[in-house]
């Protein structure tokens, strides 16, 4: 009897873990966002396109970013970062976001050159324009 009870508890826990994870982690559909990035190592701003890959707790975003070459460089950069969706944060604390066409998020990302050099560069991004497909 005790073995069946232990087995039932283990099965219940193993079946409930994916349901609990679904509340915390969500894979996003296809979307595209315009980003403005600040590169502290060079002190320059850059522009790029990003996409939200996953959402954690409906507030945090895991994002992939592609950055266009800077004016004094011919190297494309790409990276992965973590951001904070400001609209959802404002809604969670009881506020309301009035500009429905703008969906800002801020965060940090690690960029690497796509020319083969493994130089990882930190960047801070602000994303305002979001297009959902």
Q: What are the domain boundaries of the chain?
A: 24-132
Number of C-beta neighbours around residue 46 at 10 A: 21
Q: Are 76 and 69 in contact (CB under 8 A)?
A: yes
Task: Please state, in angstroms and rounded to a whole number, the distance separating the CA atoms of residues 91 and 85.
Answer: 10
Q: In the structure, what pLDDT confidence band is assigned to residue 4 with cuts at 50, 70 and 90?
A: confident
Q: Give the residue-averaged pLDDT of 111-118.
A: 79
Between 117 and 89, name the one with better pLDDT.
Answer: 89
Please give the backbone phi and psi of residue 14, each rounded to the nearest 5 degrees, phi first.
-65, -30
Instruction: Kindly report, residue by residue over 54-74, the tens digit of the pLDDT.
Output: 888 888 988 889 888 777 777
Q: Is the pTM of this model over 0.75?
A: no
No. of H helices and E strands in the chain? 2, 7
């Amino acid at each position: 009897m005790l073995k069946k009870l232990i087995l039932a508890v283990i099965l219940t826990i193993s079946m409930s873990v994916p349901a609990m994870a679904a509340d915390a982690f969500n894979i996003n559909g296809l979307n595209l966002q315009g980003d403005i990035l600040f590169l502290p190592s060079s002190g320059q701003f850059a522009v790029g396109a990003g996409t939200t890959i996953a959402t954690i707790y409906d507030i945090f975003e895991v994002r992939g970013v592609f950055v266009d070459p800077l004016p004094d460089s011919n190297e494309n950069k790409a990276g992965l970062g973590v951001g904070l969706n400001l609209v959802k944060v404002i809604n969670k604390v009881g506020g309301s976001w009035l500009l429905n066409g703008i969906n800002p998020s801020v965060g940090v990302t690690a960029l690497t050159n796509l020319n083969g050099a493994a130089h990882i560069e930190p960047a801070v991004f602000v994303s305002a324009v979001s297009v959902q497909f």
